Amino acid sequence: MKKIVIISMGDQTGITIKEQLENILDKKIYIEVYNVKQNVNFDINWDLVIFSSEIVEEMVLEKIKQGTKYLVVKRVIGHDYIDKLLNLKKGENILLVNDDKETCETVIKQLKSHGIDHVNYFPYYPGIKSYKKTNIAVTPGEIDIVPEEVKEVIDIKSRKMDITSLTEVLISLDDIDKHGEMLSSYFYRNMVNISKKYINTAHKSLKLKDMLTNILDNQKNGIIYTDLDNKVLVLNEEALKILNVKRHEIISKDIYEMFSGLKEDMAKINDQELLINKEEIKNNSIAVGNMIVINPADNIHKIDEDLRRKRKGEKLNAKYTFDNFIGNCEITAKNIKLAKKIAKSNSTVLIQGETGTGKEILAQAIHNESSRYEYPFVAVNFAALSENLIESELFGYEDGAFTGAKKGGKAGLFKKAHKGTIFLDEIGDASLHLQARLLRVLQEREITPVGSTEVVPVDIRIIAATNKNLLKEVEDKKFREDLYYRLNVMPIYSIPLRERKEDIKLMLKHYILKFEVKENIETFFSNDALRVLESYKWPGNIRELINIVEYLVSTKEEGIKVNICDLPRDILQSVNQIQDIDAKKYEEINKDIFSNIEEHLDLSEDELWVLNKIYKHKGIGRRALAVLASEENLNLGEGKLRRIMSNLKERKFIEINKGINGTKVLDKGLERVGI
């Protein structure tokens, strides 16, 4: 087990860093925390020493054993408390309390750079000779040293390591491969949370926009946020650099009109080859915009090379076995039994099933259960790679086969899988040209690298998977019939979640634990919420379930169970639809729950805006609301407002009277005002 020591000025900082690392490293690490005042013998063998700041480094560095790896980490303010700070009165005097002068100054600088610069900050730290007397103090976790006369303390909690420091720690521990995925999910969760806050308050706060830009500026990729019409909302410096534009030239413009190449997965812009990724940003499961991440291909090759170097000597292997296959309902058990039998043969397997049902996991488990388990398991995804890339990836190439080819050539994945298993994922997406080449491999069990005339024999087992109906594709002439029969020797289906309802609770339990929530399923979900989840159809299957657990983990209040109203809106809507179709059955079983789901559907941003305006301007009519909306640049015409108001009325949030009384917010609406 790796051993780390964290040294900080005060205890709390070290503990926060420790918790953060344990969260990502699955607690499979031994961490000790000390403050600089403790008299400790650091002259022993640590795998890594982490200093919480440069001052700490200066004070302690000479005490640690020569040759020990060490790092000074960069720490940033969490976004959770930003709302509170934004609500402080303009020009208010604020005491910034921290453990020393330097950390006070750093936090003030970070707060200002996050756009929280409408108040006046005055530092306070133990030993300061004189300081400004104020009513309000802000502190990153140092409540105990706040002077007595301060009336209100805003604790923004100890600052956490930023993503670059976390990456550095993982690289220093040689753990980046194992935990990289967790890191990106952790990072992504944070990004999504900030984005949600930004999008939720887009009408009100430009500060959050600044903050988002600032956070984005610390990323090494170009990142662009657009609204649903592809108009650019925010982008970082790196994106400006890559696209070679000025901010004012691109903000509010349609990104694809300016750079049509960005629609693709790869593009050449300003003579630079770019890799492009797109993510939908959702708020309560409703798409509100897009995040486009652009990266020069050179960078990717470099990272890829680095990873390859680190992986050298490590086998390409499959993680999953049937032991960690979750599910114990009858139909799952039967399927596992069949899969284990299939594993013992050497024949080609075709796994068919909806997206996210675990086809890759099944393929890995079959490989690990087979006699080839000690040899490589190599996965190729036909949907993720472009035709040109996939051909050279699969078959490899000769030295000088094409411009840009690596010197010395490259071994293809078929060759790398020799004696093991190759997993051809999303085979339904392979082009007809590739299908012809694959057929030859299946028939002859030999490959010809791109640009070569030499044939290389390979001993491999093939497992293919698809979420398409391959027979239908054959009928439509999109998939070769001969290849279909070559692949479909041992057919197996991965079963959708809705057909194995007993497994849903088990999966939820597993993923709650995996996301490190210190609660069990009973304290995490209310019974009602759990029953809704068990009745949901899960079109995205296990992958959707994982996303929803991740969403709930990051939005859940500690100590309060997730209730129906906390579930994403599309789950509630879809359960509602089931109720319509099979109303009688559902009414009988779940009368109490489903009858009031409508109540829990969240109000949209526009609905909330209207509700707040009616509350503020009692009696206000549609026309006046339309004027206010246009003043605030909102896309709310009279037609849209009529629909919103009648919906709010139907749901008893407002009352609409004729004549002088006009509109009024009702008790149920009052609960939502101010949100």
Ligand X SMILES: Nc1ncnc2c1ncn2[C@@H]1O[C@H](COP(=O)(O)OP(=O)(O)OP(=O)(O)O)[C@@H](O)[C@H]1O
Work out which of 494, 535, 579, 663 binds ligand X, going by CB under 6 A. 494
**Alpha carbon distance 257, 242 (integer Å):** 17
Give the number of other Cβ atoms within 10 Å of residue 493's Cβ: 16
The distance of closest approach from Cβ of residue 360 to ligand X in the complex, given in angstroms and rounded to an integer, is 3
With respect to ligand X, which residue has the nearer C-beta, 329 or 565?
329
Beta bridge partners of 269: 272
With respect to ligand X, which residue has the nearer C-beta, 138 or 542?
542
Work out which of 10, 358, 396, 428 binds ligand X, going by CB under 6 A. 358
Tell me if 360 contacts ligand X by CB under 6 A: yes
Tokens matching residue 221: 């990729």
Tell me if 542 contacts ligand X by CB under 6 A: yes
Tell me if 357 contacts ligand X by CB under 6 A: yes
| Among the listed residues 462, 490, 463, 466, the one whose alpha carbon sits nearest the alpha carbon of residue 478 | 466
Tell me if 49 contacts ligand X by CB under 6 A: no
With respect to ligand X, which residue has the nearer C-beta, 282 or 359?
359
Part of the chain binding ligand X (CB under 6 A), chosen from 239-247, 321-329, 562-570, 624-632? 321-329
Tell me if 142 contacts ligand X by CB under 6 A: no
With respect to ligand X, which residue has the nearer C-beta, 299 or 328?
328
Q: How far is CA 634 from CA 228, 638, 675, in A?
A: 14, 12, 18
Q: How far is CA 635 from CA 44, 206, 285, 617, 627, in A?
A: 65, 18, 21, 20, 11
Give the number of other Cβ atoms within 10 Å of residue 328's Cβ: 12
**What DSSP state is assigned to residue 399?**
T
The distance of closest approach from Cβ of residue 359 to ligand X in the complex, given in angstroms and rounded to an integer, is 3
The distance of closest approach from Cβ of residue 357 to ligand X in the complex, given in angstroms and rounded to an integer, is 4
Task: Identify whether the C-beta of residue 478 lies closer than 8 Å to the C-beta of residue 438.
Answer: no
Task: Identify whether the C-beta of residue 158 lies closer than 8 Å to the C-beta of residue 140.
Answer: yes
Work out which of 68, 205, 214, 355 binds ligand X, going by CB under 6 A. 355
With respect to ligand X, which residue has the nearer C-beta, 64 or 542?
542
Work out which of 326, 474, 565, 634 binds ligand X, going by CB under 6 A. 326
With respect to ligand X, which residue has the nearer C-beta, 284 or 357?
357
Tell me if 349 contacts ligand X by CB under 6 A: no
**Alpha carbon distance 465, 430 (integer Å):** 12
Tell me if 359 contacts ligand X by CB under 6 A: yes
The distance of closest approach from Cβ of residue 354 to ligand X in the complex, given in angstroms and rounded to an integer, is 7
**Alpha carbon distance 15, 153 (integer Å):** 21
Using CB positions, name the residue nearest to ligand X: 358
With respect to ligand X, which residue has the nearer C-beta, 57 or 393?
393
Interface with ligand X (CB under 6 A), residue total 17
For 603, the 3-state DSSP assignment is coil
With respect to ligand X, which residue has the nearer C-beta, 199 or 379?
379
Task: Identify whether the C-beta of residue 93 lies closer than 8 Å to the C-beta of residue 132.
Answer: yes
Which residue bears the tokens 């906390």? 566
The distance of closest approach from Cβ of residue 175 to ligand X in the complex, given in angstroms and rounded to an integer, is 20
Binding mask 424-453 for ligand X (x = CB under 6 A): -x----------------------------
**Alpha carbon distance 19, 33 (integer Å):** 11
The distance of closest approach from Cβ of residue 567 to ligand X in the complex, given in angstroms and rounded to an integer, is 20
Task: Identify whether the C-beta of residue 45 lies closer than 8 Å to the C-beta of residue 65.
Answer: yes
Tell me if 325 contacts ligand X by CB under 6 A: yes
With respect to ligand X, which residue has the nearer C-beta, 324 or 555?
324
Beta bridge partners of 665: 654
| Among the listed residues 291, 277, 465, the one whose alpha carbon sits nearest the alpha carbon of residue 364 | 465
| Among the listed residues 14, 17, 49, 16, the one whose alpha carbon sits nearest the alpha carbon of residue 33 | 14
Tell me if 456 contacts ligand X by CB under 6 A: no
Task: Identify whether the C-beta of residue 52 lies closer than 8 Å to the C-beta of residue 14.
Answer: yes
With respect to ligand X, which residue has the nearer C-beta, 226 or 494?
494
Part of the chain binding ligand X (CB under 6 A), chosen from 42-50, 324-332, 591-599, 611-619? 324-332
Amino acid at 516: E
Part of the chain binding ligand X (CB under 6 A), chosen from 159-167, 349-357, 584-592, 640-648? 349-357
With respect to ligand X, which residue has the nearer C-beta, 361 or 490?
361
Tell me if 467 contacts ligand X by CB under 6 A: yes
| Among the listed residues 175, 183, 275, the one whose alpha carbon sits nearest the alpha carbon of residue 222 | 275
Q: Distance from CA of residue 123 to its chain's centroid?
A: 36
The distance of closest approach from Cβ of residue 637 to ligand X in the complex, given in angstroms and rounded to an integer, is 40
The distance of closest approach from Cβ of residue 439 to ligand X in the complex, given in angstroms and rounded to an integer, is 23
Q: How far is CA 397 from CA 391, 403, 448, in A?
A: 9, 12, 9
Part of the chain binding ligand X (CB under 6 A), chosen from 21-29, 58-66, 354-362, 598-606? 354-362
With respect to ligand X, which residue has the nearer C-beta, 289 or 353?
353
Tell me if 321 contacts ligand X by CB under 6 A: no
The residues in 544-573 that bind ligand X, with binding defined as CB under 6 A, are 546
Tell me if 10 contacts ligand X by CB under 6 A: no
Part of the chain binding ligand X (CB under 6 A), chosen from 131-139, 358-366, 520-528, 646-654? 358-366
Phi, psi of 2 (to 5 degrees): -70, 145
Part of the chain binding ligand X (CB under 6 A), chosen from 98-106, 141-149, 336-344, 351-359? 351-359
Tell me if 348 contacts ligand X by CB under 6 A: no
With respect to ligand X, which residue has the nearer C-beta, 35 or 494?
494
Part of the chain binding ligand X (CB under 6 A), chosen from 342-350, 414-422, 538-546, 643-651? 538-546
Tell me if 161 contacts ligand X by CB under 6 A: no
The distance of closest approach from Cβ of residue 363 to ligand X in the complex, given in angstroms and rounded to an integer, is 8
Work out which of 361, 462, 610, 620 binds ligand X, going by CB under 6 A. 361
The distance of closest approach from Cβ of residue 466 to ligand X in the complex, given in angstroms and rounded to an integer, is 8
Tell me if 543 contacts ligand X by CB under 6 A: yes
**Alpha carbon distance 407, 399 (integer Å):** 6
Angle (CA) 154 158 163, round 5°: 125
Q: How far is CA 82 from CA 78, 111, 197, 445, in A?
A: 8, 9, 10, 60
Q: How far is CA 371 from CA 360, 421, 448, in A?
A: 18, 10, 27
CB neighbour class for 233 (10 Å; exposed up to 12, middle 13-18, buried from 19): buried
Which residue bears the tokens 């534009």? 245
**Alpha carbon distance 674, 613 (integer Å):** 10
Amino acid at 280: E
**Alpha carbon distance 146, 125 (integer Å):** 9
Q: Give the interface with ligand X as residue ranges (CB under 6 A).
A: 325-327, 353, 355-361, 425, 467, 494, 542-543, 546
